A and B are shown apart, each in its own frame.
Chain A
Amino acid sequence: MIAFEHVGKRYGGRFEALAHLNFRVARGEMVFLTGHSGAGKSSLLRLVMRLEKPSRGRVVVAGHDIAQLHASQVPFYRRQIGVVFQDHQLLFDRSIFHNVSLPLEIQGVEPREAARRVRAALDKVGLLHREKALPIELSGGEQQRVGIARAVVNKPALLLADEPTGNLDPQLSADIMALFEDFNRIGTTVMIASHDLALIAQLRHRILRLSDGRLVADEGAA
């Protein structure tokens, strides 16, 4: 599903965020990406999202070198990836329902169908009863679950998450991770950047460990 081939990323010509990355993630796999802050986890995810292009090497997603995508094709590429952000990236002037339906709106899904799928996604994260609320009325854990609902509402084949449990207590974090495992179980490829080592150790999935932009360990590969 994802293949990094000799990938390097420099910012501003000097700072080397990533270097000599080589790994593959199979379709349907669930992978944790870990390492101290500044190790390059976010940079790696940004490359997969095609927010940036690698300075060296190739990032291949589903058989295509995504650096080759024309700027006008990038939106269509991004629609196929669900992304959960640490700071949720919710729109605070819209209800939970409208936040979650945003990807469907962008894709032009027919409103009745969209409503059905938004409710299904909200139901999955246990927030169906809050659909009319504004994000500000929700707790941090609930906001994160809204972010997850938005990421999965168009049933992406690939789900990325950047520190999804960053500000949550252990119990909420475990709930969130369980949600990701559910999505993985129905065939979604999941890649989660997290430095919550205790939590990911319990979950027994593959772990890619980054340090100073290099891959230093690849544990528990299937």
Chain B
Amino acid sequence: MKSSATPRRQQGAALKTPRKAAAKPLADKPSQRGARSQQTRFSSRLRAWGRHHRSMAWDSFQRLVRYPLGNLLTMLAIAIALVLPAALWLTLDSARLLDAELDESATLTVYLELSTDAAQAQRIEEAVNAEQSVLETRLISAEQGMAEFQQSLGLDNALAGLESNPLPISIVVHPSSIEPVAMQQLAATLEAFSGVDEVRLDLAWVERLRNLAELGRRVALALGALFGLGVLLVVGNTIRLSVESRRREIEVVMLIGATHAFVRRPFLYSGAWYGVGGGLLALGLLGLGNHWLSLPVAALAASYGASFSLPQLDVTGSTILLSCSTLLGWLGAWLAVTRHLSSIRPK
């Protein structure tokens, strides 16, 4: 038997309070405990703490299972609140709007007049390359342009029916500086070259796309925050009711010396379980939605001669979603219990 084996010693141990000035021994037995038994006492307290955590986790899980329908509804509410922002995020991700690659494509495209032939184009490219603020250039023939266009749209057959290639020869220019002002100057210079039809500044497009992505991201985050708050409220309210229904029990255990942490623990686990359940249901709903939409989406894409598949949450995404919902459940429970405990006083 360890430290608390004999009644005598247990009494000594029970008379010890954790704060240094807090020992209020009712039995004034000056205890001469050495560092070693201090340590065993600490480790036995740690074990007791772990034991209580385990038993409360299990106990609150059983309480959850005992009323499956009501608890399932709570979890479903959590799941729905999580699915909406998650789905929006996935959509943005699939539209590649969240890609950092956008930053690298700050280029100018110089479109040559349609009548320009390959040799002339070569000469113009050399002239462009000679400009000081040009880093490098790439000549794109009309055929290459068409091929890239088809590829980027994923439309393999739609353009095949065209009689002649409507695309001009173009030169992609990487400027040495991607400062908007410098790029604008360079564009003006290049536009004055003979044989150049138009200079397209991709910067504006990039900028626009980036703003759009930022907008989408912020909307998703705002929705996430709002619905996260919703989860807090749902869990908080459920826990508040369960605190109320166990009020007598709480009063009794506080009368016989339970700390707030002890009283709070089962409710925190309940909250966390709600979060876990809600998160799992959300993953299920996302999967279900994906499955449900995939057929029409695939058919739609196929009718354009393209292939496109709906995005799915990967392992990392699922883990993040699940941890977020668990944390939210725990936090909601913490807020509800802490707010409520102060109003419960043993009679």
Contacts and interface: CB of A to CB of B under 8 A. Distances in A.
Interface of A: 1, 27, 49, 51, 61-64, 66, 69-70, 72-73, 75-81, 83, 85, 89-91, 93, 102-103, 105-111, 113, 117, 150, 154-158
B26 A106 contact: no
B346 A75 contact: no
A77 B21 CA distance: 13
A72 B10 CA distance: 21
Contact of B248 (A1, A91, A157): A91
A62 B25 contact: yes
Interface string B1-43: 1101101001100110111001011111000000000000000
Contacts of A102: 252-253, 256
Given A73-B22, A79-B14, A62 B256 contact: no
B247 to A, nearest CB: 12
A64 B259 CA distance: 20
Contacts of B10: 109, 154-155
Given A106-B262, A154-B14, A91 B252 contact: yes
Question: Which residue of B17, B249, B260 has the most chain A CB atoms within 10 A of its CB atom?
Answer: B17
A48 to B, nearest CB: 11
Interface string B36-62: 000000001101110110000000000
Interface of B: 1-2, 4-5, 7, 10-11, 14-15, 17-19, 22, 24-28, 44-45, 47-49, 51-52, 248-249, 251-260, 262, 345-346
Given A64-B24, A73-B17, A78 B5 contact: no
A2 to B, nearest CB: 10
Contacts of A110: 2, 4, 44, 47-48
A156 B52 contact: no
B341 to A, nearest CB: 11
Contacts of B18: 76
A42 B246 CA distance: 25
A108 to B, nearest CB: 3
Contacts of A106: 253, 256-258, 262
A157 B11 CA distance: 8
A91 B258 CA distance: 15
B252 A80 contact: no
A150 B256 contact: yes
B52 to A, nearest CB: 6
Contacts of B7: 117, 155
Given A64-B24, A76-B257, A113-B4, 5 more contacts: A79-B257, A102-B253, A102-B256, A108-B49, A113-B5
A76 B257 CA distance: 6
